[in-house]
Structure 1
Amino acid sequence: YDYGMQLAKRGYVAICPDCRGFGERRDEALQKGTDEKSFLTSTCFHLAHMAEPLGETVAGMCTWDASRLIDYVYERGEWDTEDLGVMGFSGGGMQTLWVSALDDRVKKCIISGYLYGYRDALLLLNGNCSCNYVPHLWEHFDMGDIASLIAPRPLAVQSCRDDHLNGPRGLVNVTEQMDIVQKAYSLYGKEEYPLHDVREGDHCWHEEVLDIALPRL
């Protein structure tokens, strides 16, 4: 999905890095293919296979990368960092969730195709990408708890009704987490957030969330 281009057409500066394990940052042994499918096929399993025995996680490395990218934006000094936002779909939504929760330089964020309960979406559905897993995290926190750290900054979450990643209970697994986040925003008197944009379809991006969450420049 070309949501970087969609942002640019709305007047924003859009920086679209290759995530670890994708594109030119794939694991070396799997960098042979140059077709589009090869660039979009991740090597997260290979990263996690070595990272976790060393006390690292792919989610942690991606969050580190995103924060360093924000450093770069600040160092350039030519863009309005007072309105800096992060947006992503699926694995990009995972990165958006984590960096927005942990780096308050992010002023607004849009998470698409990624915010649901760990048990249903990542444990019962145990064939998900290795980038999702942080050992023992689900014993203490859920995604709603992590997303609550974004409060009171503007947050929009997009979910699709038939997204298989929602888990066997469907949207219920999403709305439970959104309720947790809503309570955090209520503590700040920001009941208008988080915005929850529910669309039809399976695991897919809908551009309409931009019309809801971002003004055209």
Structure 2
Amino acid sequence: MRESPTMALAQLEPEGLDAEGQNWQQRKSIQTRLAILEAAIDCLQEHGFARTTTQLIAQMAGISRGAMLHHYATKQELIASVLEYTFFKRMENFLAAIRTLSEDERVDRNAGIEIYWESLLTREFGAYLELMVAARTDSELREVFLPKARHYERIERAEVARAFPEWQDDPDAYDLAMDFCISAMQGLLFNREIWEDRDRRIRLRRFISTAIVMLRSGALAA
């Protein structure tokens, strides 16, 4: 039995960021943590992992380095929270967008493909991408990154399956569709600046969408 969306999203929510029921001082601390995490995302997006330092993040967040260290004593601890925060925001925003679709948009027009594409253009995914690439050669980052990325992937699969119930009768086809969609769309993202032709990118997304519909209908074998 799968968890409810609220329970699944709760698994991704970083600790210490829930302001509900907290006193004023605790809420202020949470606001500072959020400011740090948002600044870290901007820093990763603009400067890359190698040039992202706790000092630069503190500067972008508008706080002292001492205040930064009070909340995150090490860069590794901060990056772990940044990963959790980006995963949570990406999932929350994606599911919110999917729930606005009509059944016709979701099933017949496969509008989720464009929503997923838009999610790849967000600053949260940009920060995640910087960490994913850096984790390939940074062993300390890799130790933090891989377990959290794998945890997110498991929850993402369950949540997206719930958001698209038309796949529930063929879980094998669903898994293949997810693999294909993620691989193809992220590959498109990586080549976006090389493939300058916007129409070319749109045609490829339409092809991805058509292939997924064919897979769901059984016209294309899993």
TM-score by length of 1: 0.30
TM-score by length of 2: 0.30
Structure with the higher helix share, 1 or 2: 2
Structure with the higher strand share, 1 or 2: 1
